[in-house]
Structure 1
Amino acid sequence: MLSLVRQCRAFTPAKQFLGVSNRTLPKNGLVRTYMTPIWRRQPLTNLLKTRNFLKPSGAIIVRLNSNIPQKSKKSIGYWLMTCSGMVFVAVVLGGVTRLTESGLSMVTWKLLGEKMPRTEKEWQEEFEKYKQFPEFKIKNREMTLSEFKWIWHMEFGHRMWGRAIGAVFLIPAVYFWARGRFTPAMKKRVLAFGTLIGAQGLMGWYMVKSGLEDRFHGESDVPRVSQYRLAAHLSLAFVLYTLFLWSGLDQLLPAETITTGCKNAIKAARKFRMVAHTCKGLVFLTALSGAFVAGLDAGLVYNSFPKMADKWIPDDILALMPAMSNFTENPTTVQFDHRVLGTTTLTVITAMYLMSRRRLLPRRAYTAAAVFGALAWLQVALGITTLLTYVPTALAASHQSGSLLLLSSAVWLTHELKRLPK
């Protein structure tokens, strides 16, 4: 609409001012209905004046304002949902890369991407670089060149997918910004998205770098990335995914509200929204604890459920000193925390679902609550199965993907509750 006003003030021809042709004008009679009376009201002397002839009519501006922004919102919404879907795939690829122990195969990092070896000589040179680092020296001394190629391609695919996310985000963002499609609030979000994508890439390399350092000297040391950096890398991905999804829903599926004069019903609905946000926070916290489980390979200890080696609380839960270090460095404690958080989250989500059946909520919120509850039970079932079967790659990747699906349903539910009346 702002561009139309600027064109009008510049006294451009009417066809350019309208920005449409006869073929693109709507044929429902709405514009013609408004235009005919407007021009008939103009005295002939006024029509002969260029200034009055080009003066914009409020009817036309309102008509165009109801169409163009709606198309822009949909285009922006589809773009944001595409970005969120790509982040989802990146999380899955990252989980598979970790489970196949491919993450340390590429020992260099370049902003625009590493060159893939083409000849056998180039592959051998890349393999020689890998041999200089702890993972090969301590763990993979018997690895062949063909085996190295496989893990290298896994890591290469993960990195290039991350760079593809940056391109798919950046190019449309520049276009929409230049065309004036973003509101001031959306501009701030776009800047935040870009910052998070850049930070995610840097954190990914910072995480990999921790596994390449010469710090594995104990007999039982296994070369791996820092669990702290892994948790930070995964958390950034989850935050980025959540923001993309929330913003995409804003554009494509605006939240509904409820219409009621009962203050108690409104008050109960707002309290339910607080519970839904609490569930979302618990899902995020449980997923974060899962990153520590992955970083320490804690899923390979105490493969029984619900007890851990016939005990509810294992003996070595506080084996490290100082005691607080057990929560992030002791595999037993990390797995125990993940179990407790998972069980607590499931209980709270189930209570939330039962509560939703007794509250007046927006129409789609009931569906979102049901999906949220069902996915919570599925996620716990996947987690237990993964533990009992000693963490097979397919199940473990499904469990990690399930955590993101669960978070998606939590975001959807809380988004549906954002417009409750005060």
Structure 2
Amino acid sequence: MLYNAYELQRALLSGASAWASISSEVLSNPALPAGYFGFGPVLASALEVFAHAAAPRGKPPFGITSTEVDGKTYGVTESIVLQRPFGDLLRFERDDLPADAPNLLIVAPMSGHYATLLRGTVARMVESARVYITDWADAKLVPAEAGRFDLDDYIDYVIGFIEHIGPNTHMLAVCQPSVPSLAAAAIMNADEHPSRPASLTMMGGPIDTREAPTSVNDLAMQQPLAWFRTNVIATVPSTYPGAGRRVYPGFLQLAGFMSMNLGNHMMSHWAMFQHLVRGDEDSADATKAFYDEYRSVCDMTADFYLQTIEHVFQKHSLPKGEFYHRGSLIDLGAIKDTAILAIEGENDDISGLGQTRAALHLATNLSDDKKKYFMAPDVGHYGIFNGSKWRNNIAPVLESWMAQHRTIGEPAGA
């Protein structure tokens, strides 16, 4: 019922958005007097804001075709190098990249948004590295015969992607995937896997949410797991390839995040309306671009979502040493070769200060020269991996860390 009701609302709003967009264009037409004076520009701007807010959205493209390094522009090639039912492995490589450039796997969150949310992360790192990224699928588009997908599968996918890339791969986990990525690194170190990552960088990750809990953490703790299973899990309707699959819908995730900062979102749209009235198209377009990405959401499987709530936010299984993979206990003390960099934002309201840094204390057998902590001043959650502070202040720290730990077994700074 929940998903069907949403689909009905989406269909109605889609039609209303189309009519609003057409009406806005008519009122803005320079051939009509209404476009120059009176209430015309105000009404046209209001309709354009509504049309943008109500428009349906699909998966956005990365759209990274070039990059500039030292004043020179290089072309960037995007390709799918491995296809799996619940997610592909993408590669981005710039022209004339040095042969010894590092391989970097960016593990994108499976948290309701597409991997394109990390477009800025990829665009910056492609300057100096051969960048791979996990392109997770929208669960409602994965046929039921593909089976289930849970935390165990997520870890297996990460390990499989690293194996495909090869030895001495560096790994970057942004937010939610810090937990399964750290688990994958521990498993590969324990097995002395030849492709165990040379380094693992975690940014704004909920390794131990008992440290500086945020409103997101509190929400996950306020209700028992049964409440989430009953109230936020829905069945994909027959109009999608994944019909019958149980999912946590992306539209619910978006509604939750929007409600957390509803006032700010309303003010952003009010500012966009004012920009349009004044004819400041560039400022309005910047707001539109942000919300085009922010509102592009996808579903995640119920198994993965519920296990994440249970083990990451409620039971704190990994920091307590009680996290299992395929029936085997994960030992973070097994990490002896993979250098770990923990990055946090001073103003992060999603993963509080100390939650990511906890990984450094949990890797008890990793030498101090293979551990590093960096706190980015005046940076919120999204600023850790997007924007000018990411590009100018945080990315250089990551690049330096990868350069210090180029290969497994190589001394720092070699």
Which category describes the TM-score, using the shorter chain as reference length?
A: under 0.3
Q: Larger Cα Rg: Structure 1 or Structure 2?
A: 1
Higher helix share: 1
Report the TM-score, using the length of structure 1 for normalisation.
0.24
Higher strand share: 2
Report the TM-score, using the length of structure 2 for normalisation.
0.24
